[in-house]
Amino acid sequence: MILLIHAIVRIKMSQNNLDAIDRQILTILQRDARLPNTELADEIGLTPAPTLRRVRRLEEEGIIQRYVALLDHKKVGRGLLVLVRVTLDKQTRQGFNDFATQMQARPEVLECYLCLGDIDYLLKVSMPDLDAYQHFLVNTLAAIPGVRNTASTILVKQEKYTTSLPLE
């Protein structure tokens, strides 16, 4: 029983109580996920063994969700980025779920958010060019039942892009 309470306390704490070393690790791995553990250990001033154990713990706790490679959009033929604001017709819960499910299935939709305000959904869509986007808009988005209105904004220049969250 006491063990259980201890376990609960530890889980709760571990989700928010990152110590300075944890934050260092996360900051570095957000910048370079492939840094060898030995070098990571050097940078934070620990030996490789405890460093690796901390990384594994952060992974298991889901604080580190995954490691990904970021590609050059233009060089893989996806130079066009569009933000789409979508308004749905009937604001029933079912309609919302359907829409989100369809967006999850479309690989060109990189991000999809339910949002507050005068619109319902926000999409970030990756496309090769305007032709392809127009095709997506007409044949995919507008074809979804319940979509009342869409407004597109072409993101001309990416001034900043990072996936790194600041860790106080």
Partner DNA sequence: CATGAATGAGCAATATCATTGCGCGAATGC
Partner DNA sequence: GCATTCGCGCAATGATATTGCTCATTCATG
Which residues contact a second copy (rule: CB under 8 A)?
15-16, 18, 26, 29-34, 61-73, 75-78, 81, 83, 100, 103-104, 107-117, 119, 121-122, 126, 153-168
Q: At closest approach, how far in Å is the CB of 102 from a second copy?
A: 10
Cβ atoms of 146 and 99 closer than 8 Å: yes
In whole angstroms, what is the distance from residue 144 CA to residue 147 CA? 6
One residue of 11, 50, 104, 153 binding DNA per CB under 7 A: 50
Q: Which does 21 bind (CB under 5 to 8 A by kind): DNA, a second copy, none?
A: DNA
Q: Which of 23, 30, 52, 150 binds DNA (CB under 7 A)?
A: 52
Q: Which of 28, 30, 48, 140 binds DNA (CB under 7 A)?
A: 48
Q: With contact defined as beta carbons under 8 Å apart, do 26 and 33 qualify?
A: no
| Identified binder of DNA from the candidate list 11, 33, 49, 155, rule CB under 7 A | 49
Q: What is the DSSP letter of 81?
A: E
> What distance in Å separates the CA atoms of residue 75 and residue 87, rounded to the nearest whole number?
33
Q: Give dist(CA 35, CA 32) in Å, integer.
A: 6
Q: How far is the CB of 23 from a second copy (least distance, A)?
A: 8
Q: Do residues 57 and 49 touch, judged by C-beta distance below 8 A?
A: no
Q: At 4, is the secondary structure helix, strand, or coil?
A: helix
DSSP-derived 3-state class of residue 44: helix
Per-residue contact flags (x/-) with DNA for residues 6 to 25, judged by CB under 7 A: x---x----------x----
- Does residue 135 touch DNA according to CB under 7 A? no
Least Å distance, CB 66 to DNA, is 15
CA angle 113, 115, 120 (to 5 degrees): 95
- Note the residues at the interface with DNA (CB under 7 A): 6, 10, 21, 36-39, 45-50, 52-54, 56
